[in-house]
Structure 1
Amino acid sequence: MTEPIVTTDGLTKRYGTRVAVDGVGLTVHRGEVYGFLGPNGAGKTTTLRMLLGLTRPTSGTARVLGCRPGDPAATARTGALIEAPGFYPYLSGRNNLRVMARYQGLTDTAADVALTRVGLGDRGGHAFRSYSLGMKQRLGVASALLGDPDLLVLDEPTNGLDPAGMADMRQLLVDLAGQGQTVLLSSHLLSEVQEVCDRVAVISQGRLITESTVADIRGSSSLWVRAEPVDVALAIAMGIAGDDLVRLTGGGVQIDADAGVAPELARALVEAGVLLHELRVRERSLEEVFFEITSPEPATGSGPASERTRQP
């Protein structure tokens, strides 16, 4: 296991009687892209602000790059984009970055390099006020990249980007992790998170629901069969995979078994004279699982959802 870059233990933030973040414990390792997910109002941005030292926690602890959040030693090695980026509207994108670079003791060249990395090299001379939402977001990410920080904390970095821009940003995040930098990413675009993140944490109503790899959260694959007569197909599937793993769903038969049984199942169906219309592997997307574990559940007396679903 790689070295932890960010750890929290019981991190909590209250605003009066409202609990915005409730006992969150995270571990982010060096060189990974870590997704931080949750519905709007779940406490994501508040948590990120506490990690950056912008908001003081009510209780609990956090360590960032071995320091307390907001410690100058950690701040110097962290780049961040939280909420909407703020820049001087009448300065060009390039000059905005150069101002920020000089505040950090960096050269103008560092600003130019960051601008190129986010695909704004040819628009750097244009005034910030003329930028589209996606271009403003790119410039915000460029500001976070100044100085090649060890840790990048990005809140919705693909906001406003077109599909090509999203693809470019996705590749940039992967490249950064490949170079040993760590990315802590908050996003509502779960398909993007599924493609780039090594591990994810899901937060809902301020509480951590689960923290695990994307593969573990998505779970195993299943098979779906559409065949006639369906009752014969159902009986054959039960004989191969077991009664508990087979059910009728969506006009077909779902088998919650490894895809490795597909050849045996297909052969058995054909030999039985079943008319096989479709046999495919079905993998749950991160989006499907996200909605499952963050949807409100009726009280059952079995304890909070976070205690039932959180990974060890």
Structure 2
Amino acid sequence: MRELVVETDGLTKRYGDRLAVDRVSMTVMRGEVYGFLGPNGAGKTTTLRMMLGLIRPTAGSASVLGRPAGRPDVTARIGALIEGPGFYPYLSGRDNLRTMARYQGLPNTEVDRVLEMVDLAGRAKDAFKGYSLGMKQRLGVAAAMLGSPDLLVLDEPTNGLDPAGMADMRALVVSLAEAGQTVILSSHILAEVQEICDRVGVINNGRLLRESTVADLRGGATLRVRATPEDAALAVLMRMAGDEGVRRIGNETLEVDLPATATPDVVRQLVTHSIDVHEVAVAERSLEDVFFEMTGNRTNSGQELVS
């Protein structure tokens, strides 16, 4: 059984009359990439701050690495980037990290190591104030990785990066988990979460709506069949998938609750009944689709959630 790294039990935070986090109970296991998702004001950042011991819960508890959140011995084993990095503007990227490393009792070689990992070694001598948004974000991730912490909490680590930089950051996160570190990842880009996260927690209005593997959350694949005459195709497919297993979703298009492996048999049966098959495609719900169904939040682009 995998080791439990983070566990919250009824975690609650109230600010006056406003309930920011409402009895959140979640678990994060060692070596996994856990996606923490929620629309604006959902309570995501407040939950993470309680998990890190930065604010006290009104009720409930959070334990990290088997100890109460916020204890100095626990905090020393966590690296975090929450709501953007903060550094001395007139120091170079390297000197900013050296200052942080000195407080942690780490050698300068550790600074060079993390700069290489985030592909910032070539600009390490430049002043932080001259960094682009993406470079600042890289430096923030590098700071979180100092000392190879057991747990990394990364809030929007790909913010400001170009597509190549985003791909590099995703690969880095996966490699960290494969090496045994645990990563809690918050991201606007749901396709990114779908690609690299093992499990996700979806929070809305302060409540954890669902915690599951990405695969279970998305559900199984279905087949979309475009065939004529449609009524005849519907009758054949209902015999194969059941009366409730077939739905009309568009012009001459039917959605069938059958796996991709059933495709040859579906085509064979339709052709046997003199039905013209124009298209058979495998349809899978994306994490984006599931998220919007659960929270009712959708942006204009349909590709990013509101943080």
TM-score range, shorter chain: over 0.9
In structure 2, runs of 5+ residues without a counterpart are 298-307
Match of 2:4 in 1: 4
Letter in 2 for 1:15: Y
Q: 142-151 or 271-280: which moved more?
A: 271-280
Match of 1:269 in 2: 270
Q: Which runs of structure 2 are paired with 1:2-81 in the superposition (5 Å)?
A: 2-81=2-81
* Alpha-carbon shift at residue 157 of structure 1 (Å): 1.1
Q: Does 1:95 align with 2:114?
A: no
Match of 2:281 in 1: 280
Q: Deviations over 1:206-255 (max 9, x none)?
A: 00000010000000110001111111111111111111100111220000
Give the distance between the partners of 2:254 and 2:267, measured in 1 at CA.
13
* Alpha-carbon shift at residue 270 of structure 1 (Å): 1.6
Match of 1:105 in 2: 105
Q: Deviations over 1:116-170 (max 9, x none)?
A: 1001011111111111111100100000000000000111111111111111111
SS of the residue 1:270 aligns to: helix
Match of 1:186 in 2: 186
Match of 1:253 in 2: 254
Match of 2:177 in 1: 177
Match of 2:164 in 1: 164
SS of the residue 1:217 aligns to: helix
Give the distance between the partners of 1:253 and 1:292, measured in 2 at CA.
21
Letter in 2 for 1:189: I
Match of 1:146 in 2: 146
Q: Deviations over 1:169-220 (max 9, x none)?
A: 1100110011000001111211011111111110000000000100000001
SS of the residue 1:191 aligns to: helix
* Alpha-carbon shift at residue 274 of structure 1 (Å): 1.7
Match of 1:301 in 2: none
Letter in 2 for 1:284: R
Give the distance between the partners of 2:20 and 2:224, measured in 1 at CA.
41
* Alpha-carbon shift at residue 272 of structure 1 (Å): 1.9
Please give the TM-score of this superposition, normalised by the length of structure 2: 0.95
State percent identity of aligned pairs.
66
Q: Deviations over 1:7-35 (max 9, x none)?
A: 00000000000011000001100111111
Letter in 1 for 2:71: D
* Alpha-carbon shift at residue 271 of structure 1 (Å): 1.9
Match of 1:309 in 2: none
In structure 1, runs of 5+ residues without a counterpart are 297-312
Give the distance between the partners of 2:31 and 2:278, measured in 1 at CA.
45
Q: Deviations over 1:260-301 (max 9, x none)?
A: 2211110111222222111011011000001001128xxxxx
Matched residue pairs, number? 296
Q: Deviations over 1:82-116 (max 9, x none)?
A: 00100011111111111111111111111111111
Give the distance between the partners of 1:163 and 1:88, measured in 2 at CA.
28
Letter in 2 for 1:233: A
* Alpha-carbon shift at residue 257 of structure 1 (Å): 2.1
Please give the TM-score of this superposition, normalised by the length of structure 1: 0.93
Give the distance between the partners of 2:170 and 2:250, measured in 1 at CA.
34
SS of the residue 2:87 aligns to: coil
Q: Pairwise CA RMSD of aligned residues?
A: 1.0
* Alpha-carbon shift at residue 259 of structure 1 (Å): 2.0
* Alpha-carbon shift at residue 49 of structure 1 (Å): 0.4
Match of 1:137 in 2: 137
